Structure 1
Amino acid sequence: MTDSLAHPHHRFAAATAATGGPRDIVILGSTGSIGTQAIDVVLRNPDRFRVTGLSAAGGRVALLAEQARRLRVRTVAVSREDVLPALREALSAQYGAEPLPEILAGPDAATELARADCHSVLNGITGSIGLAPTLAALEAGRVLILANKESLIVGGPLVRAIAKPGQIVPVDSEHSALFQALMGGARAEVRKLVVTASGGPFRGRTKAELAAVTPEQALAHPTWAMGPVITINSATLVNKGLEVIEAHLLYDIPFERIDVVVHPQSYVHSMVEFTDGSTLLQASPPDMRMPIALGLGWPDRVPDAAPGCDWSKASTWEFFPLDEEAFPSVGLARHVGGLGGTAPAVFNAANEECVDAFLAGTLPFNGIVDTVADVVAEHGTPRGTGLTVADVLQAEAWARARARELAAKATAEARA
């Protein structure tokens, strides 16, 4: 186990490193936001990258089939076995008389694909279901391009036990920024990490003003285009809390030395403050193709991966302290991260259930984090230091059930 899972001074050499041709990549979650943008980067750089496998949940089989044909992949995987006939039909329509790629189906399909012969695995799956594929890719000796923060958060000790130095390259814009800024000094010279937050659509509102927020308002993020769960997490700043835990696990920096600052323009993606008082930051327009391309190409950069800053135009970048009373999720995440064990899994699972309840109109906006806090408190302090995948799954199942119970109870009381 290394003391730092993702440090730019460690450059992991995959067992299947390319020998001069394009680098073979497997993309998990190919029909989602991260996956589609990664494919855009690949298609614009065919001399550098070759996608050999794609996985998706199965909700967009037509898009998955189109991706498979354009990339000429060897394997396609879906987690939903019920969409297998529709996938075969969609692939046949795309391929015509040509042979179809290998098809994997079922809840373990993405995990099986993560072990495939390739240089790197991009885990762009949303949610803690990405844990098993993350572990499989690491165990198989692949470079893990990590966009699935939940797998690291809920399975931190499991991931830390098997990841080699430099085997993980982070894709979250904040952690990619930290990764790049850390090149400016030795680990012992780091004073603190500063994670930036856009503040979401409700920056500046008080807790009382957030009480009547609607799903439509919460889904209208001012800067980033993301899926519904991540967008709501950005509105509650739960996403930023998860990123604090992720930064702690990736860079082995204590929680008290990881700050969050609100930066509405989203050009500065995060900063590293060094012991001499110097602060290095990474800045670029809000476009996920840049950190994705860095992950795909590391240790080399991909030219023209995304537009750079236009320094010919006047601009203003603002920074504000985080209002922890209106947005208590970051403080709760620090507490959960300090508890360790299965507490992060409980936090993440309860939040996913509460987000679903909010989107369904059965839980108020403030009720998301309040309910998560109640579930975390009931879970209590984890016992022992060991952690297994079974422990994580059991804790998640309990947290989901309890979150649904508390959300339903809150709804019933509100209607009484």
Structure 2
Amino acid sequence: MDISQSRILLLGSTGSIGTSALNCIRRFGSRFKVNGLAAGKRVDELISQIREFKPQNVYCADPRGAERIRNEFGSSVRVWGSLEEIVKETDCEIVLNSLVGAVGFRPTVAALELGRRVALANKESLVIGGDYIRSLLAKGKGELLPVDSEHSAILQCLSGVERSTVETIILTASGGPFRNLPVEGFESITPSQALNHPTWLMGPKITIDSSTLMNKGFEVIEAHHLFSLPYSRLRVWIHPQSIIHSLVEFHDGAIMAQLGLPDMELPIQYALGYPERLPIGGRRLSLPEIGRLEFADPDLGRFPCLKLCIEAGEAGGTAPAVVNAANEMAVEAFLNGMITFKQIAEIVAYSLHSHKPEPADCCEIIEETDRKIRKTVLNEFLSKR
């Protein structure tokens, strides 16, 4: 390995963010070395990645897949038994966490406690454990850089800026596939319709979250923790073209925006190379080709998940963990044909309004809340179906 190479542990390597990250690493092979890969059940794809990138450390959530990897690669690869283990045992400078769901929280914490740079695409880490993660960062534990296009855009707009001059942060949302669908049509939305996102190519969970605007609610909570702004100074605009990724308004009325094509490789590359801006070829944004950029306020009546998420963020403590757990269960049930699209928000609302938040100041409280809410959703809504 070249002494100047940054060693990377990639969590969620076979997902949409993970495969995009590996594309970035291919482009800059002299800059980055993959020292660890972690994936779920796409074993064939993971094995292909191991052959190409030759990591020393691997985690596979599928026990049979893990055994296949041991048999094929022998002593050249160490196969770890948990995500926390591979984080703690992999020698690296950067942990790119692109896991989906609350399962990504503990690996984020472990990486920060080891002083690593965490390139964070796992938004649930900050949604359910933002207060705790901020306490780690305040103690000088590691470094956190966002991979979400919206938060990457905000970070770029704030480069070299005195934070006290920031008045408002505005996150943009495409509005998803149903922004123009009459509300009476929401009852009959199918999973295949909800998975057809108009501008972004993503995994199934985040695509459904984008169609309900829950994803944007999560991103508001993330922005609160990343940029230390109260919820009253965080706004959402619907922007169907997905060209402006976020905006920052300053106290003199000026607004700075970051623009780019809807391509996740750009924010991934920015987080990996930060503070350096690495070059990239390919297509460039042409505003004359786009023609026009449109904006609107979100309709919270039609998309209650956004409102519920912000409500949970303002309540603080364990409330965001409640929303996340209920939403994960509801989205899985919707994808499996067990509930309707509208019932996702109903399950989240019931869970949030039945819960009394408590301080989320340790991992155990956050995880116990997560377990309790999942059990409640299963018993109250899903077990009878």
What TM-score, normalized to structure 1? 0.88
1:312-369 residue CA offsets vs partner (Å, 9 max, x unmatched): 6352111111111100111111110111111111100100110111112121111101
Shift of 1:306: 6.1
Distance in 1 (alpha carbons) for counterparts of 2:305 and 2:282: 31
Q: Which residue of 2 aligns with 1:162?
A: 136
Distance in 1 (alpha carbons) for counterparts of 2:64 and 2:310: 40
Correspondence for 1:112 among 74, 80, 85? 85
1:141-185 residue CA offsets vs partner (Å, 9 max, x unmatched): 111100001011111122111123881110001110111111262
Q: Which residue of 1 aligns with 2:345?
A: 369
Distance in 2 (alpha carbons) for counterparts of 1:134 and 1:284: 28
Distance in 1 (alpha carbons) for counterparts of 2:49 and 2:143: 27
Distance in 2 (alpha carbons) for counterparts of 1:305 and 1:177: 19
Q: Which runs of no fewer than 5 residues in structure 1 stay unpaired?
A: 1-17, 93-97
Q: Which residue of 2 aligns with 1:41?
A: 24
2:158 alignment partner, SS class: helix
The residue identity in structure 2 corresponding to 1:182 is: L
Q: Which residue of 2 aligns with 1:271?
A: 247
1:194-250 residue CA offsets vs partner (Å, 9 max, x unmatched): 000000000123432212111111011111111111110000000000000000011
Q: Which residue of 1 aligns with 2:70?
A: 88
* Alignment check: 8 A CA contact 1:290 1:306 kept: no
Change in 2 beyond 3 A, CA 1:217/1:77 = same
Distance in 1 (alpha carbons) for counterparts of 2:282 and 2:338: 40
* Alignment check: 8 A CA contact 1:30 1:36 kept: yes
Shift of 1:406: 3.4
Within a 5 Å distance, the mapping from 1:95-134 to structure 2 comes to 100-105=76-81, 109-115=82-88, 116-134=90-108
Aligned: 1:313 with 2:286:
no
Distance in 1 (alpha carbons) for counterparts of 2:136 and 2:283: 36
Within a 5 Å distance, the mapping from 1:6-405 to structure 2 comes to 21-57=4-40, 59-89=41-71, 91-92=72-73, 100-105=76-81, 109-115=82-88, 116-163=90-137, 164=140, 167-183=143-159, 185-304=161-280, 307-311=283-287, 313=289, 315-380=291-356, 382-383=357-358, 385=359, 387-405=361-379
Q: Which residue of 2 aligns with 1:10?
A: none
1:274-330 residue CA offsets vs partner (Å, 9 max, x unmatched): 111111111111000000000110011110066431246352111111111100111
Distance in 1 (alpha carbons) for counterparts of 2:77 and 2:201: 31
Distance in 2 (alpha carbons) for counterparts of 1:335 and 1:208: 25
Shift of 1:81: 2.8
Shift of 1:404: 2.3
Distance in 1 (alpha carbons) for counterparts of 2:218 and 2:290: 33
* Alignment check: 8 A CA contact 2:115 2:141 kept: no
2:83 alignment partner, SS class: helix
* Alignment check: 8 A CA contact 1:56 1:79 kept: yes
* Alignment check: 8 A CA contact 1:27 1:122 kept: yes
Distance in 2 (alpha carbons) for counterparts of 1:297 and 1:376: 39
Change in 2 beyond 3 A, CA 1:330/1:306 = farther
2:235 alignment partner, SS class: strand
Distance in 2 (alpha carbons) for counterparts of 1:75 and 1:165: 23
2:177 alignment partner, SS class: helix
Determine what percentage of the aligned residue pairs are the same residue. 41
2:380 alignment partner, SS class: helix
Distance in 1 (alpha carbons) for counterparts of 2:315 and 2:226: 17
The residue identity in structure 2 corresponding to 1:398 is: K
2:193 alignment partner, SS class: helix
* Alignment check: 8 A CA contact 1:289 1:305 kept: no
Distance in 1 (alpha carbons) for counterparts of 2:260 and 2:296: 19
After superposing the two structures, state which structure 1 stretch, 239-248 or 311-320, moved more. Answer: 311-320
1:324 alignment partner, SS class: coil
Q: Which runs of no fewer than 5 residues in structure 2 stay unpaired?
A: none
RMSD across aligned C-alpha pairs, in angstroms? 1.9
The residue identity in structure 1 corresponding to 2:199 is: T
